[in-house]
């Protein structure tokens, strides 16, 4: 049995750890514990609860109103790992600078980033959004249509990315992607990027933006970028969406072609 004196000796260490990692404890509480409790109480998924809030607190056909409702819910009610408003503004700027006509999104989740991207695209552009989870895709579809985007602007594809990418040319007549946004499973960043290269879907100047490369992190993806020599790239440093004190970043890549 541990004596009280020994137990007390660990109190300063415990307090130090709590203070140092307090933002991670808060994130765990909001993203995991609250979610489990509300799943049990409501019988709805977190994404369904978010959709209900957005539906009743936004203006149909107004993408910014929908994003604002999402941001409020994720900040004050439950955590969802959307790109969020701070990193979202970086994404907005890059899209406006690039003015892409053909955009691929890997990981629609519940449609936040899909709406964020679609609202700043030039006239005639088209966004292809891939989401492998059927439940999340159903929510994303409702959010996208609530924002006022039809199939001619946003096409939602429900399948794993590694199955869809090889078929983009044959099934969707895509010759080149001007812009790619990655926000799905971080372990898929590197293999999916290599699939895009392998199937010739990137042209010189194509831009790829990858979220959460520092937290939770995509170390294999970053190592590949350092070694392959196919991209000019940099990291836009920020904090994790809807959180304080957790450092994160988005990678911006410009494809240079095979040297």
Q: Which is catalytic among the residues 141, 178, 186, 192?
A: 186
For residues 212 and 243, is the Cβ–Cβ distance under 8 A?
no
Active site residue 198: no
Active site residue 186: yes
Which sign, positive or negative, has the C-alpha torsion 162, 167, 171, 172?
A: positive
Q: Which is catalytic among the residues 183, 192, 248, 252?
A: 183
Active site residue 86: no
Q: Which is catalytic among the residues 131, 141, 211, 252?
A: 211
Residues paired with residue 232 on neighbouring β-strands, in sequence order: 254
Q: Which is catalytic among the residues 71, 136, 212, 252?
A: 212
d(CA 115, CA 38): 26
Sheet (strand 202-210) strand order? 154-157, 126-130, 102-106, 177-182, 202-210, 247-255, 231-239
Place of tokens 């040319």: 169
What secondary structure does DSSP assign to 221-255, as a single string?
HHHHHHHH--EEEEEEEEE-TT-SS-EEEEEEEEE
d(CA 107, CA 100): 19
Region at 209 (left for phi over 0; alpha for psi -120 to 50; beta for the rest): beta
Catalytic residues: 183, 186, 211-212, 241
């Amino acid at each position: 049995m541990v004596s009280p004196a020994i137990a007390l000796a660990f109190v300063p260490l415990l307090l130090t750890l709590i203070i140092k990692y307090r933002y991670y404890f808060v994130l765990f509480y909001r993203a995991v514990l609250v979610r489990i409790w509300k799943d049990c109480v409501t019988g709805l998924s977190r994404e369904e609860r978010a959709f209900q809030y957005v539906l009743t607190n936004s203006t149909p056909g107004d993408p910014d109103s929908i994003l604002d409702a999402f941001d409020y819910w994720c900040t004050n009610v439950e955590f969802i790992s959307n790109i969020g408003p701070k990193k979202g503004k970086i994404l907005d700027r890059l899209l406006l600078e690039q003015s892409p006509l053909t955009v691929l999104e890997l990981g629609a989740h519940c449609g936040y980033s899909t709406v964020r991207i679609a609202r700043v695209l030039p006239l005639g552009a088209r966004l292809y959004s891939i989401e492998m989870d059927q439940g999340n895709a159903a929510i994303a579809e409702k959010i996208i249509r609530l924002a006022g985007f039809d199939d001619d602007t946003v096409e939602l594809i429900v399948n794993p990315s590694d199955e869809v990418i090889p078929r983009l040319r044959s099934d969707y007549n895509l010759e080149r992607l001007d812009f790619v946004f990655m926000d799905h499973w971080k372990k898929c960043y590197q293999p999916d990027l290599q699939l895009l290269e392998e199937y010739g879907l990137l042209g010189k100047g194509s831009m790829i933006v990858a979220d959460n490369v520092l937290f939770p992190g995509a170390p294999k993806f970053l190592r590949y970028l350092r070694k392959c020599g196919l991209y000019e790239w940099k990291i836009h440093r920020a904090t994790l969406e809807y959180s304080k004190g957790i450092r994160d970043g988005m990678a911006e890549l410009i494809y240079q072609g095979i040297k």
